[in-house]
Structure 1
Amino acid sequence: MRAVWCGFVLGVIGLQQQAALPSMMGWCVLALAWLLGVAVAVKAWTIVRRRARVSVDARRWAHAGWGALIFAAACSGFGYAAWRAELRLAVALPAAWESRDIEVSGYVVGLPSRDKIASRFLFEVESASAPIVRFPKTIQLVWVARDTPPPVLEPGSRWRLPVRLKRSHSTANFGVRDGEATLLARNVRATGYVSVPEHALLLAGNASGIGVTINRWRAAIRARIDVVLADAPHRGIVIALAIGAQDAVSTADWASMRNTGTNHLIAISGLHIGLVAGFAAWFAGSLWRRSAFVGRYWPLRVPAQKIAALGGALFAVFHAALAGFNVPAQRALWMLAIAALAFVGGRRLASSVVFAWALGLVLLTDPWAVLSPGFWLSFCAVAAILFAVSGPRRRVRLPHDPDAAPVHPLRRAWQRCSNAFARYVHDSTHIQLAVTIALAPLTLYWFSQIPLIGPVANAFAIPWMSLLVTPVVLAGAVLPMPLDAWAFQVADGLLRIQSVVLHWLATPTWAVWHLPRPGPWALVCATAGVAWCLAPRGWPLRWAGPIAWLPLLLPPPSGPPHGAFRLTALDIGQGNSVLVETAHHALLFDAGPGPESTHAGERVVVPFLQAQGVTALDALMVSHEDSDHAGGAPAVLDGVEVRQLLASLPQRHALWAQARKVGAERVQCAAGQRWQWDGVDFTILWPDERRLRANPNDQCCVLRIRTAGRTGHAGHGYAANPTPALTALLAADIEAPIERTLLARDPDALRAQVLLVPHHGSRTSSTEPFLDTIDPLIAIFQVGYRNRFRHPHPGVFARYEARHIELTRSDTDGAVRIEASGTTLSLERYRDTHRRYWMDR
């Protein structure tokens, strides 16, 4: 059965890497492959039964049979995941109904999140005014505050809402998690907002069901914590430990726990569920054993151990439900349930069998779980523990001396306690070291860093959270008022102490090791090294295991050659963010929107820079103060080292103070500034520092990037003329008046092969004389999918098409990467080279 589940998991993982779902021919090939695997397995086992099992020939056929069985199981997993994907993708909002007014009726599901700006929630649609046959059943909505704050939405409350929807779409960037996959895993097939909040109507009667009831309990606990802790700094962690909702965890807490490798303690994982299940099992068993006090002798009929196992498993179900059934909670729940059922049935299952069943059942219920970090971190941590403790344990037996003097009972008790404590410390250290080693490659892959201080931080934080904070939080969740308030306040006080310790541990510069995101072969080598290093005692050359980790330590991908540049235009929704790299330098032009919109700075830009191995920016250029350009800059200043802030911002802007705080040089952007990096010239063409304008768009920094070569211009096509330099022009949000000014000043300075389209293609920019003068080969439109500004304007987009310019759009192509080297421009679109079957579906 372990082999079957392993094959099934491999098939599910393989499907999630496909660019398209199987066609009819693909299904036929898959069915034939499955039949072939089953036939070979049956034939192999038939031969093994007929011949002696100990013969060499029989062993070969047995191995062939197991391989065929795993192959058939992989085909089954691939087909099952593809079938589930076909069913889910068949329900979608038609493109013709995007951004149109629709009235939907239904109820709130899950646990809504709310701040001063908006409420975000999932909505289960019962009926819709649009005549769509298969209308999305679950949609994700935002209720934006206008004149009055958005209402407090209760799980299960039924509403009639006017909404505007769009198909499930998210940003797509190199080295950053795919948001569309997350939406698909949650079965969210459309997203949107409440278009006319004044017309929203609360309907009579609430939805019913077990899920709704549990979510109401979760909402009530959260509301109570909000009242008790109010503005307490660690209120978000208390909420996360109580009900599994992590949206209220502060940025400071996330940073501290991520840099110390303790962020797994925020989630309700197997550690917490195991703790709760253990306490529930002890409580249920104790009550059962004491049934004689009420005149019953139940242990004579059913052993108390079995009641304890069932009680622990049942309470684990309840606790996992409060956690929202996240992947780590599902893993712990399945393992506990399988082990409890086996124990009650009088069977003893190996740990690997329980692990394999839990792994298969998680993917059977949710084939998209493999796309989340929690799946890999949770299951790999448990696998590392089981593998590390699987070897023979060393036992030391002291010689018995019959002539020795008798030992005092107190001394004997002290020796037993000290030996037990020493064994506990030894086993805990062994397990913690095994988990740290096993998760290091995965932590590097998902978060581009390895917290070197992690083992020390976890040695303090795990018992602190498990033995003190978590029990107090859970007690607060079940105690009545005002006892719950005392419990939550005590938990916040304990978290304050923990925060001080973790902050002190994360202070040294060496505490966190930032590395670029490893490739697949580096991960395979690291996995082999982990398995070799954690092998049981007696395995040969265990000390050589870390040698396989060397590919993880390779330097980041080399930059372009000397005299060339690489330009990566990120997909950050509506806004600008472009990374410009030369051989040894990096410049970030704008940082996208911030907390007021999509949090692109911390959600996309910083993870992208870390995944690419860009730990320091030689310059951060903020073109102007509009939020879709400057909103993400604070997150960049906090997330990576910035040596210079070059910006066109008012002196009062908060970014200047933040740049001073992090030690970055501060320079006001002005026309005429020039510098050279690695044979590439950088020139600022605008703004004119002598003119102060009220419109921020008129003060935009316009940056020209040019390789070495004689001035001139190439014709259309990707192969440029050998004589001219290759040039990129980043025009930010300039509009027609500034375009005319630049044309009048120096038309030759504007000629470029690559153009970041001014003002996202608005109708107030990209005038025809401006385009004719630049005559670009490639034009980059950084626009949000179905953005409210309707950028790019159809007429402006038609101007570019009429000139046969190679056009890229972040809303359809994702991030784009352009490299100007020698005499050639190369263009890569993310959604072409990293396509998955759910994109644009």
Structure 2
Amino acid sequence: MRAVWSGFALGVFWLQQQAVLPEAGDWWVLVLTGGAGAGVAVWGLRGWSASGSAPARRHRLTARARRGAGWLALCCAAACIGFGYAALRAQARLAVNLPPGWEGRDIEVTGSIKGLPSRDANGARFLFAVDSNDARLAAFPPVIRLSWIAGDAPPPALEPGERWRLPVRLKRPHGNANFGVRDAEASLLARNVRATGYVSAPQRARRLAGREQGVAVLIDRWRAALRARIDSVLADAPQRGIVIALAIGAQDDISDADWQLLRATGTSHLVAISGLHIGIVAGLTGWLAAALWRRSGWLGRNWPLRLPAQLVGVTAGALFAVLHAALAGFNVPAQRALWMAMLAALAFVGGRQLARSTVFAWALGLVLLVDPWAVVSAGFWLSFCAVGAILYALSGRPRMAVTEQAEAASDQPRRERDDDRQRQGGRRGEQHKAAPPRCLALRGAALRHLRTLCERLRSAAYVQFAVTIALAPLTVYWFSQIPLVGPLANAFAIPWVSVLVTPAVLLGVALPAPLDGFTWHAAHALLEWLMAGLQLLTGPRWAVWWLPQPSAWALAAAALGVLWCLAPRGWPLRWAAPLTWLPLLLPGADGAPAVPSGGFRVTALDVGQGTAVLVQTAHHALLFDAGPGPESSHAGERVVVPFLRAHGVTTLDTLIVSHSDSDHSGGVPAVFDAIDVRQMVAALAVDHPLWSVARQHGAQTAPCAAGQRWQWDGVEFAMLWPDPGPLSGKPNEHCCVLSVRTSAAAASGPPTPQSLKPPRPGNEPARFAALLSADLEASAERVLLARDPAALRAQLLIVPHHGSRTSSTEPFLDSIDPSIAVFQVGFGNRFHHPHAGVYARYVARGIELARSDQHGAVRVDVDPRGEGPALTLERYRETQRRYWMDR
């Protein structure tokens, strides 16, 4: 079954990498391949599964080759089954969608609150299970995600299972799509959320009588009640969010500062109800239940004679694992631990002994059978790879029980010699005859316990080493970092949280009020001490090693190195295993080559309704605006910072804040908190708080003004607007406008491809430029045209003001004459950007267009000296497409 479940998991994973779902011809290929694999598996494994004399009649190498082919074919057949199963599940889920014509229209839906709602200063967010809709749409999404925005009045208290009639405005599932950043649409699909939106008219919302019933609703109500009780007990305590996370698995209340500290020390896994917590607490529960069962004689009962205490302990541990996983909301690590605990319990009850690898394979298959989209989450990989690394690392080491028996056997001859010596010591008195044997026995017992303790500590250290080594490549892939202090931090954080904090939190869950408050306060005090200790470890800058997101080949090489490093003793050249991790130092997760000298790269990020553009030369990086902040979509910390880290940008030479509008400047504080910024140039009022934020982080500051020029790696940068002096008028009238241009020394490059218009004759035809225009409006466009039309000419234009009708005048476009124009707009934005008339101007000029709402992030490489095209355009949703996009 290990080969079957492994192949099944491989097939499920492969389906999630496809750009389209299989069609009729693909299904026939899949069926034929799976059938052929099954036939070869039967042929190859039939002789192996027979009696031992059958293989003896064949040549040994032939028999081994046949068995190997059989196992490989079985794995291939299982992969086909997994691929087909995941495809069928995906087709069924994608068949239900909000019709495009109903996006942004008022619909009244009736249904119930699903899961735990989350609240913050901006309002409440929750899942809503729809029973009916007044649009009378037959294939209406069964689950939608809604926001209840806090306006004049905060949203009402929302509880799981409550029935409501809500007026809503919806849109199809859509998430920001950026190179190296997590795909939000995949997460929505995994949760079966086929529409998102908000409560459009809160005054017309009505709570209906009655509540939904069922086990799931009962569990959610229990979790909501526990969260409310912890909120009332701990109030505004700093670590209240971590206590809630350890109690019910909800992480919404953990502060950003705590998240940064936990990630920097590699201990963020401890604030979730993970498999480690479930395993430890379930083990303690089973041990306690068995101990009490054995002592039933104190009550005048002989229960162990009727039912073995071991069976009671295993059953109690398994039941508690179910309860604890339910508290966690059945996340992927909890499911993995639950399935492993249940399989081990069933094997014990049935009198069978399963190999640990078999239990692991069954848990892997069952998790993917329930949720085929688990493979797109970081929790799946971190959880299963951690357990797999432990099992693999310990497979070549002697078990503790065997070690203790061997030590006891080796001590037996020594003890017999000591007894003989004592019997021969007749010259000593009776007192001296009796004392030495007792002292020697105590010394021997102490030495044995000391050896056992040392062996256990050595085994625990080796397990920690194995997990750290195994998860390092995955940590780089998912989070672009390796916490170098992680092993030291986890050495005391894991036992501290698992043995002290988590039992205290769960004891509060079990105790009635007001006793629960004492245990939660104790858990909070323990967490404060833990966070203070972790804070001490994050002082040095080398505590976290930031690396670019690796490519698939670099990740595969690192995985091979992990297997090599953790191989059993005696494996050759284990010291050379770290060499396979060297590719992790190289960028290339999205296939982008390095920026050549004399050229530059412009990446317009998909931050929704806002602007964030990264300009890179061979050795420098400039960020033009940082997208919306906490007042909107948190794009600064959700998109901009992860993108920079994934591409190895740990230092920004310059951060330009074009103006004060929040969709351009809101994400700037998040960038300063995560990235080293050497200089900030901005068109902001002198009293704007971002100036003080920049100075606090040690960045040089300067106002944005026309005439500023500098050169990096053969690329010229020039500020065209606003004019020097005090800012006046509304922010759009004095926003920064930046021109990026290759130098005259790059005049030997080849012409641009035929699909892109070449520069106009007579204006340095071999020089290429990009114009970043922020929210420039028509009045400023006319001033720039009158001043120097040639300075505006560019092959790449970041469209001014998101395509608003107040910008992109026809003379302005004629003067720029762009080959590529990029619209940074939000999907279904309320401003209806880009304006239809403005968009038509770009279409009429034959300009190559890209829109962040349709294409995601857009990357343009300018390389006038290369052998290929001088301009290369890449749209994320075309090159990194998955089958769920735009569905």
**TM-score band w.r.t. shorter chain:** over 0.9
Matches within 5 A, 1:753-772: 753-772=795-814
Residue in structure 1 matched with residue 354 of structure 2 by the alignment: 349
Question: Which string of whole-angstrom CA distances, capped at 9 and with x for unpartnered residues, describes residues 547-572 of structure 1?
Answer: 21121133677642222110000111
Instruction: Check conservation: 1:105, 1:126, Cα contact below 8 A.
Output: yes
Paired amino acid for 1:738: A
2:758 to 682, 699, 720: 720
2:478 to 423, 429, 446: 446
Aligned residues: 841
Offset at residue 692 of structure 1 (A) = 2.5
CA distance in 2, matches of 1:47, 1:835: 45
TM-score (norm 1): 0.97
CA distance in 1, matches of 2:507, 2:375: 33
Question: Which string of whole-angstrom CA distances, capped at 9 and with x for unpartnered residues, describes residues 633-674 of structure 1?
Answer: 111111111100111111222211111111110111111111
Report the secondary structure of 1:162's partner residue. Answer: strand
Paired amino acid for 2:55: R
2:715 to 675, 680, 705: 680
Report the secondary structure of 1:349's partner residue. Answer: coil
Offset at residue 32 of structure 1 (A) = 0.7
Report the secondary structure of 1:64's partner residue. Answer: helix
1:168 to 167, 173, 177: 173
CA distance in 1, matches of 2:779, 2:235: 50
CA distance in 2, matches of 1:92, 1:67: 39
Paired amino acid for 1:669: C
Residue in structure 2 matched with residue 431 of structure 1 by the alignment: 463
Residue in structure 1 matched with residue 579 of structure 2 by the alignment: 547
1:390 to 395, 401, 408: 395
Paired amino acid for 2:728: R
Residues 1:799 and 2:801 aligned together: no
Matches within 5 A, 1:556-575: 559-575=594-610
Residues 1:79 and 2:96 aligned together: no
Offset at residue 295 of structure 1 (A) = 5.2
Residue in structure 1 matched with residue 660 of structure 2 by the alignment: 625
Matches within 5 A, 1:772-787: 772-787=814-829
Paired amino acid for 1:356: A
Larger displacement relative to structure 2 (776-785 or 406-415): 406-415
CA distance in 1, matches of 2:725, 2:6: 69
CA distance in 1, matches of 2:587, 2:113: 48
Larger displacement relative to structure 2 (297-306 or 470-479): 297-306
Larger displacement relative to structure 2 (645-654 or 590-599): 645-654
Larger displacement relative to structure 2 (110-119 or 412-421): 412-421
Residue in structure 1 matched with residue 776 of structure 2 by the alignment: 734
Paired amino acid for 2:877: R
Matches within 5 A, 1:170-249: 170-249=175-254
CA distance in 2, matches of 1:542, 1:19: 39
Residue in structure 1 matched with residue 262 of structure 2 by the alignment: 257
Offset at residue 787 of structure 1 (A) = 0.9
Instruction: Check conservation: 1:693, 1:699, Cα contact below 8 A.
Output: yes
Question: Which string of whole-angstrom CA distances, capped at 9 and with x for unpartnered residues, describes residues 587-643 of structure 1?
Answer: 000000111111111111111111101110000111111111111111111111110
1:101 to 106, 118, 122: 106
CA distance in 1, matches of 2:818, 2:277: 58
Residues 1:496 and 2:542 aligned together: no
CA distance in 2, matches of 1:520, 1:450: 18
Residue in structure 2 matched with residue 363 of structure 1 by the alignment: 368
Report the secondary structure of 2:153's partner residue. Answer: coil
Residue in structure 2 matched with residue 703 of structure 1 by the alignment: 738
Report the secondary structure of 1:832's partner residue. Answer: helix
Question: Which string of whole-angstrom CA distances, capped at 9 and with x for unpartnered residues, describes residues 194-248 of structure 1?
Answer: 0001100000111111111111111111111112222211111111101001111
Shift in CA distance, 606/407, structure 1 to aligned 2, threshold 3 Å: farther
Shift in CA distance, 407/522, structure 1 to aligned 2, threshold 3 Å: farther
Offset at residue 541 of structure 1 (A) = 2.3
Offset at residue 683 of structure 1 (A) = 0.8
2:54 to 52, 55, 73: 52
Instruction: Check conservation: 2:737, 2:773, Cα contact below 8 A.
Output: yes
Offset at residue 392 of structure 1 (A) = 3.8
Instruction: Check conservation: 1:22, 1:82, Cα contact below 8 A.
Output: yes
CA distance in 1, matches of 2:140, 2:72: 43
Offset at residue 750 of structure 1 (A) = 1.1
Larger displacement relative to structure 2 (160-169 or 720-729): 720-729
Larger displacement relative to structure 2 (680-689 or 104-113): 680-689
Matches within 5 A, 1:320-339: 320-339=325-344
Residue in structure 2 matched with residue 149 of structure 1 by the alignment: 154
Offset at residue 744 of structure 1 (A) = 1.8
TM-score (norm 2): 0.92
Paired amino acid for 2:707: G
CA distance in 1, matches of 2:448, 2:754: 83
Paired amino acid for 1:328: P
Report the secondary structure of 1:121's partner residue. Answer: strand
Residue in structure 2 matched with residue 27 of structure 1 by the alignment: 27
Question: Which string of whole-angstrom CA distances, capped at 9 and with x for unpartnered residues, describes residues 760-808 of structure 1?
Answer: 0111111111111111111100011101111111111111111111110
Paired amino acid for 1:146: G
CA distance in 1, matches of 2:438, 2:654: 72
Residues 1:827 and 2:827 aligned together: no
CA distance in 2, matches of 1:490, 1:260: 23
Question: Which string of whole-angstrom CA distances, capped at 9 and with x for unpartnered residues, describes residues 432-463 of structure 1?
Answer: 01100110110011111101111100001011
1:306 to 308, 311, 334: 311
Residues 1:840 and 2:886 aligned together: yes
CA distance in 2, matches of 1:243, 1:542: 42
Paired amino acid for 2:23: S
CA distance in 2, matches of 1:749, 1:114: 50
Paired amino acid for 2:776: I
Instruction: Check conservation: 1:714, 1:724, Cα contact below 8 A.
Output: no
CA distance in 2, matches of 1:37, 1:555: 38
CA distance in 2, matches of 1:569, 1:75: 39
Over the matched positions of the two proteins, sequence identity in percent amounts to: 63
Report the secondary structure of 1:621's partner residue. Answer: strand
Report the secondary structure of 1:203's partner residue. Answer: strand
CA distance in 2, matches of 1:720, 1:708: 17
Residue in structure 1 matched with residue 429 of structure 2 by the alignment: none
Paired amino acid for 2:657: V
Paired amino acid for 1:732: A
Instruction: Check conservation: 1:575, 1:782, Cα contact below 8 A.
Output: yes
CA distance in 2, matches of 1:322, 1:769: 63
Report the secondary structure of 1:52's partner residue. Answer: helix
Residue in structure 2 matched with residue 524 of structure 1 by the alignment: 556
Offset at residue 326 of structure 1 (A) = 0.6
Q: Which runs of 5+ in 2 are unaligned?
A: 423-435
Residue in structure 2 matched with residue 406 of structure 1 by the alignment: 437
Residue in structure 2 matched with residue 14 of structure 1 by the alignment: 14
Kindly report the root-mean-square deviation, in angstroms, between the aligned alpha carbons of the 2 structures. 1.9
Offset at residue 416 of structure 1 (A) = 4.2
CA distance in 2, matches of 1:655, 1:429: 46
Paired amino acid for 2:688: H
Residue in structure 2 matched with residue 534 of structure 1 by the alignment: 566
Report the secondary structure of 2:614's partner residue. Answer: strand
CA distance in 2, matches of 1:607, 1:494: 31
Instruction: Check conservation: 1:622, 1:630, Cα contact below 8 A.
Output: yes
Residue in structure 1 matched with residue 73 of structure 2 by the alignment: 68
CA distance in 2, matches of 1:263, 1:410: 44
Report the secondary structure of 1:739's partner residue. Answer: helix
CA distance in 2, matches of 1:14, 1:106: 36
Residues 1:789 and 2:789 aligned together: no
Question: Which string of whole-angstrom CA distances, capped at 9 and with x for unpartnered residues, describes residues 19-68 of structure 1?
Answer: 11000000011011111111112222345549722332333222211111
Report the secondary structure of 2:203's partner residue. Answer: helix
Instruction: Check conservation: 1:563, 1:680, Cα contact below 8 A.
Output: yes
Offset at residue 688 of structure 1 (A) = 1.5
